[in-house]
Structure 1
Amino acid sequence: MINLKPPEARASTVPPVTAEKALSLISKGWREVRNSADADLQLMRDRANSFKNLASSFDRELENFLNSASKSKFSVPAIRSSPPAEIDFVKRLQPKLSEIRRVYSSPEFSRKVLQKWSPRPRIRIDLSAIKNAIVSEVEDRDDVVDYDARESFWRGRKVGFTNFRWEWKGEGEGEEGQFRDWEPIRVLKTRLREFERKNSSSEIFENFKNSEFVEKVKSSLKAICKEPTESKQVPPFDVPELLAYLVRQSGPFLDHLGISRDISDRIVESLCSKRKSQLLLRSIPAGEASILEGDINDELDLRIASVLQSTGHHYEGGFWNYSSNHDLSERKRHVAIVTTASLPWMTGTAVNPLFRAAYLSRSAKQNVTLLVPWLCQSDQELVYPNNVTFNSPEEQELYIRKWLEERVGFRADFKISFYPGKFSKARRSIIPAGDTSQFISSKDADIAILEEPEHLNWYHHGKRWTDKFNHVVGIVHTNYLEYIKREKNGAIQAFFVKHINNWVTRAYCHKVLRLSAATQDLPKSVVCNVHGVNPKFLKIGEKVAEERERGQQAFTKGAYFLGKMVWAKGYKELIDLLAKHKSDLHGFKLDVFGNGEDAHEVQSTAKKLDLNLNFMKGRDHADDSLHGYKVFINPSVSDVLCTATAEALAMGKFVVCADHPSNEFFRSFPNCLTYKTPEDFVVKVKEAMANEPQPLTPEQRYNLSWEAATQRFIEYSELDRMLNDEKGDSQSAQASGKIFRKSLSTPNLTNMVDGGLAFAHYCLTGNEFLRLCTGAIPGTRDYDKQHCKDLQLLPPQVVNPIYLW
């Protein structure tokens, strides 16, 4: 820094009084340090003298002890004649103690101790340079710094740290020996000389600015303070976009108001039509001018996702729905199939989920668990045919695996677990007892398949399926509305059941598959047949085709009907058709196989109408006695997808069935003859009885197989995306040509509505009075003591304790 003050001003910059005060303060501090060191040395000398006095006192005491011992008049003669060993030891020790006392009390020893503990080096500081630096100013030859004229010696010189003498007296040198620099001071002075040799301060700061340390600090600060480029390049939402997104998210609410989804879509399209060409261009980085075309909903999703990503917002869930963070560190996924029935009850929800578990387990991508109901002994006697009962779940599991292996021809590697269930005589179905979801451990809670989701969740009081599992798929098996309409006050009951089914499937499923359009139109649902036929029936069909190729007669019998003997399974329609056209079907004979609660009433009605029906006990459709029949009659319109119809087609038979949505899948097969009117029914029956069925092609056999059904299920349930995606819930827009990743963590009004419905359902099903009013079995909110004993479960009071104050 250049000093531009006049000489008079510079001379008066540092007054002499101030310099003398500073020097006096430094001298005073040095005197205090020296006095403190002298006091410490004096204390050490005093302690050495006390030690010497203690040794002399000990010597005197020892001499007095020996003299008193030798002159004692109480000593016995033996002791006088031979002095004790202790006294001899002391006498031998006395010269050594005297020698120790003499050595340690000598002045030479004290001098050596003091030399050892006293600071041998002395630091001598010459403070004259400090005084001269304070009272004078030095002119730097480079920076033009002038000094006071008082000290001509310093005029024009550069003040350096070498002028301050920090000297160290070397060890082994005499009193007036030569002094040398202390090593740390010497190193410091060397570095300071190098620092002083720098030509200018600009060179010093230039090297510092270009140093690696400064570069790292600058890069760290840039990383901390970096603003996302997206936030500057992605514009905020405008009013039409917000309104379009609100209308689309309000879909469930608008549905309940009677506004169709098409109207909502047209509103969204009209709001975004003016900006459709610019919607994605606002979301892509600058410099990319490619126009991305796609559905307006996808474009709106990408627009929302891009803005959220630019702001760094992340939605973790809340209000009614909570995000589930499941451990997916292992690449192998887990599929849990939960159903409402189990073998030996030969019903669709017992057989089809069992085959689904077997064929899904053949893939190495996932582990599979089949969760079936366990019935106590009293309920088993009511449900299972032929008085078959089981004493333990392990015994029933062996029965299930044996039955399955005989039909599929391979050993299926999947786990079978049981949950508590009770049989309802009024509903003729098994109702879960307690929280069914708790029987799938949290570590295995990945993908859930709910066979009959409405049935499983009518009285479900427990954890929400969609909260515990990453993906929940419901498969609708039964047209409950059709059954309920046949009961007393059926129309009113069907109205309430319809809305309850909508409620629970919306709240507990991500995706719903309907086997046919015969079921009610449930939320989040698509129609797809995801059932196949037992491989055993396909083998029977192949055998029949081979016999026909050899010219043998494969079918020796006429027509038959097989099904559980209850009115809702098509017996009412069958009796009505045959009674109305008895004369047109003169000579037509039909064999009927089935057992059920309405067997006596059905048989008495047929006998009263004098119908040509031959009733027999129910048997397995694959039984050898049924192979010779050529025509299968199925007039039922209550089925969702009749498994017996698919089995009859697989065996190469004719099938006469109603033109109904439940039979839509079978219309593509040439052996399926559908009728629309009772008169058409007579025509189709006569046609089937007069002709021979066509052999199935390989493609048709594959479409009926469980391999094809499993492939359709994986596709329509979006299970392929879940299994192929390591994280499970991610959706990438890159696969469809989009740039941005869709954000599933965006707050979604639909999810909030579903969460609210689930919460309300949980509150209502927790009230025992409301459960009983809606037809629940008493005591099914929790499992009972017998279930605890059979399944080795902890009592519900222990699992879910109730605390009273």
Structure 2
Amino acid sequence: MDRKEHIAIFTTASLPWMTGTAVNPLFRAAYLSKDGERKITLVIPWLSLKDQKLVYPKNTTFSSPSEQESYIRQWLHERIAFISGFDIRFYPGKFAVDKRSILPVGDITEIIPDEEADIAVLEEPEHLTWFHHGKSWKTKFRLVIGIIHTNYLEYVKREKNGRFQAFLLKYVNSWVVSIYCHKVIRLSAATQDYRRSIICNVHGVNPKFLEIGKKKFEQQHSSNQASAKVAYYIGKMIWSKGYEELLKLLHDHQKKLAGLEFDLYGSGEDSDQVKEAAKKLKLTVRVHSGRDHADPLFHNYKVFLNPSTTDVVCTTTAEALAMGKIVVCANHPSNDFFKQFPNCRTYDDGNGFVEATLKALNEEPAPLTDAQRHELSWEAATERFLRVSELNQVFARNLDKNPSKIFASTSLNLQKNMEDTSAYFHYVALGFETTRRAFGAIPGSLHPDEEQCKELGLATHMGRGGSIKISD
């Protein structure tokens, strides 16, 4: 009875890939473990060398999971002011080039031993369960919480035959999330709706950005202020990340914005096309390679533009607000959380964008109050997460589960319970290579290959208890 509850946080990416599902679950693990009341394990993908070269920036690669863990912990140590007490474990993953995503290989529920399987937090539950073949998450864990990070439907709509693909994906997402999650947290209303879901932003801001904001207001009259007529945007340089909307706004309103300058920062597949489009504008639009948003280069910008409508809760918008900048963003559900801050200015159309941008460039940002800084912090995000997930209540209950079975029911309950039946159908369908390929899985992803088994210290096929634990 004295055993601490165990929370396993599974996510779809890991540093040094600077994506939201690599960074935010890492901070969540650190802050949930801060008070020492719970045992926290962060479960992240391990990629073989050939996939690391495709995913990780600046030719960063790792020869072992322990080497990557050291990198991750060092990165975190430089950003938080306390010693984090969580574990890190790795599951086999493969990079799907067509989806630009890391997908799990094998039954990753087995990374956590049955005796520790209290609570699972699935960061991007649809992504983690599309091709899942193994024990039902709800049978393995007392409580499974899904956190919806990504507006997949909006991305898919922009592809060829996107409307039809989005229609199918909507139902697949609803299916796998409902059969594998007890609770669902949507970061904003910009995500697909799900049964048993609640909307709550359970993400915070890297503490470094709040520190930058404090120092900036202390040095408000610094002599090296950037020009008040320069605004900037930072994001992965692909059209769907806001660049299409931004360049169209600048193109359509060149006369009204004459004399202003815009700096765009990012790296990505569409960098060359973005640069070409920017050159055709009569405005001064400079396109730069991607950088860390905390770089001193950004400290003296006053106005941050974010026209994206594909985000769920934009991390760079939160960072800009934390640094004390005025943010001009679309009046869109993804930005609802930010509207409470006085430096957030929203617009509904092109004329509104021009008006908000001109006004922001001619005003000074309002200083953040202590309460506003707290609302942006990971401390507040953790409080929100604990409140909406009701973890304490769940752990107190003696929920019935039988870890020795793949599913909670085998015969009578299976026939009566549509959810168990659906989960069983998913289990059977995803157990065949041809079916998996039809669903869009990576070839050979039913079990980890020999290379990954060797790298992770697994048996030829990942069996019960065959996970690797990287100790502190």
- Checking the alignment, whether the CA contact within 8 Å between 2:109 and 2:134 is kept in structure 1 is yes
Letter in 2 for 1:556: A
For residue 610 of structure 1, report the CA deviation from its aligned partner.
4.6
For residue 721 of structure 1, report the CA deviation from its aligned partner.
1.8
For residue 522 of structure 1, report the CA deviation from its aligned partner.
1.0
Could you tell me how far apart the structure 1 residues matched to 2:237 and 2:293 are? 15
Q: Does 1:788 align with 2:460?
A: no
For residue 797 of structure 1, report the CA deviation from its aligned partner.
8.3
CA deviation profile, 1:87-137 (whole Å, cap 9, x unmatched): xxxxxxxxxxxxxxxxxxxxxxxxxxxxxxxxxxxxxxxxxxxxxxxxxxx
Determine the structure 2 residue equivalent to 1:368: 40
> Structure 1 pair 332/636, CA: closer, same or farther in 2 (3 Å)?
same
Q: Which of 700, 703, 709 is equivalent to 2:375?
A: 703
Letter in 2 for 1:784: D
Q: Does 1:444 align with 2:116?
A: yes
Could you tell me how far apart the structure 2 residues matched to 1:604 and 1:761 are? 46
Q: Which of 426, 436, 439 is equivalent to 1:761?
A: 426
For residue 363 of structure 1, report the CA deviation from its aligned partner.
2.3
Larger of the two Rg values belongs to structure = 1
For residue 783 of structure 1, report the CA deviation from its aligned partner.
0.8
> 1:796 aligns to what SS in structure 2?
coil
> Structure 1 pair 650/796, CA: closer, same or farther in 2 (3 Å)?
same
- Greater fraction helix: 1
Determine the structure 1 residue equivalent to 2:84: 412
Determine the structure 1 residue equivalent to 2:210: 538
- Checking the alignment, whether the CA contact within 8 Å between 1:555 and 1:630 is kept in structure 2 is no
- Checking the alignment, whether the CA contact within 8 Å between 1:371 and 1:419 is kept in structure 2 is yes
Could you tell me how far apart the structure 1 residues matched to 2:313 and 2:385 are? 15
Q: Which of 649, 657, 671 is equivalent to 2:321?
A: 649
Q: Does 1:358 align with 2:35?
A: no
Letter in 2 for 1:371: V
Determine the structure 2 residue equivalent to 1:714: 386
> Structure 1 pair 751/535, CA: closer, same or farther in 2 (3 Å)?
farther
- Checking the alignment, whether the CA contact within 8 Å between 1:547 and 1:553 is kept in structure 2 is no
Could you tell me how far apart the structure 2 residues matched to 1:797 and 1:641 are? 35
Letter in 1 for 2:380: A
Q: Does 1:427 align with 2:99?
A: yes
Q: Does 1:778 align with 2:466?
A: no
Q: Does 1:516 align with 2:188?
A: yes
Could you tell me how far apart the structure 2 residues matched to 1:457 and 1:613 are? 42
Q: Does 1:614 align with 2:286?
A: yes
Q: Which of 117, 127, 131 is equivalent to 1:459?
A: 131
For residue 562 of structure 1, report the CA deviation from its aligned partner.
0.3
> 1:408 aligns to what SS in structure 2?
coil
Please report the TM-score for the alignment, with normalisation by the length of structure 1.
Answer: 0.55
> Structure 1 pair 555/646, CA: closer, same or farther in 2 (3 Å)?
farther
Determine the structure 2 residue equivalent to 1:185: none
For residue 662 of structure 1, report the CA deviation from its aligned partner.
0.2
- Checking the alignment, whether the CA contact within 8 Å between 2:447 and 2:462 is kept in structure 1 is no
Q: Does 1:556 align with 2:226?
A: yes
> 2:329 aligns to what SS in structure 1?
strand
Determine the structure 2 residue equivalent to 1:394: 66
Determine the structure 1 residue equivalent to 2:262: 590
Could you tell me how far apart the structure 2 residues matched to 1:786 and 1:598 are? 33
> Structure 1 pair 420/611, CA: closer, same or farther in 2 (3 Å)?
farther
For residue 559 of structure 1, report the CA deviation from its aligned partner.
1.0
Q: Tell me whether 789-798 or 561-570 shows the greater mean CA deviation.
A: 789-798
CA deviation profile, 1:456-492 (whole Å, cap 9, x unmatched): 0000111111100001100000000000000000011
Structure number with greater CO (CA < 8 Å, separation at least 6) is: 2
Q: Does 1:484 align with 2:138?
A: no
RMSD across aligned positions (CA): 1.9
For residue 545 of structure 1, report the CA deviation from its aligned partner.
1.7
Identify unmatched segments of 5+ residues in structure 1.
1-328, 731-746, 801-805
> Structure 1 pair 646/751, CA: closer, same or farther in 2 (3 Å)?
farther
Could you tell me how far apart the structure 2 residues matched to 1:533 and 1:495 are? 33
- Checking the alignment, whether the CA contact within 8 Å between 2:275 and 2:287 is kept in structure 1 is yes
Map of 1:18-167 to 2, 5 A cutoff? Answer: none
- Checking the alignment, whether the CA contact within 8 Å between 2:259 and 2:283 is kept in structure 1 is no
Task: Count residues in correspondence.
Answer: 452
Letter in 2 for 1:580: D
Map of 1:2-21 to 2, 5 A cutoff? Answer: none
Identity %: 56
Could you tell me how far apart the structure 2 residues matched to 1:748 and 1:378 are? 45
Letter in 1 for 2:426: H
CA deviation profile, 1:209-264 (whole Å, cap 9, x unmatched): xxxxxxxxxxxxxxxxxxxxxxxxxxxxxxxxxxxxxxxxxxxxxxxxxxxxxxxx
Determine the structure 1 residue equivalent to 2:406: none
For residue 753 of structure 1, report the CA deviation from its aligned partner.
2.1
> Structure 1 pair 749/770, CA: closer, same or farther in 2 (3 Å)?
closer
Determine the structure 2 residue equivalent to 1:628: 300
Determine the structure 1 residue equivalent to 2:357: 685
Letter in 2 for 1:384: Y
- Greater fraction strand: 2
Could you tell me how far apart the structure 2 residues matched to 1:625 and 1:379 are? 32
- Checking the alignment, whether the CA contact within 8 Å between 1:721 and 1:728 is kept in structure 2 is no
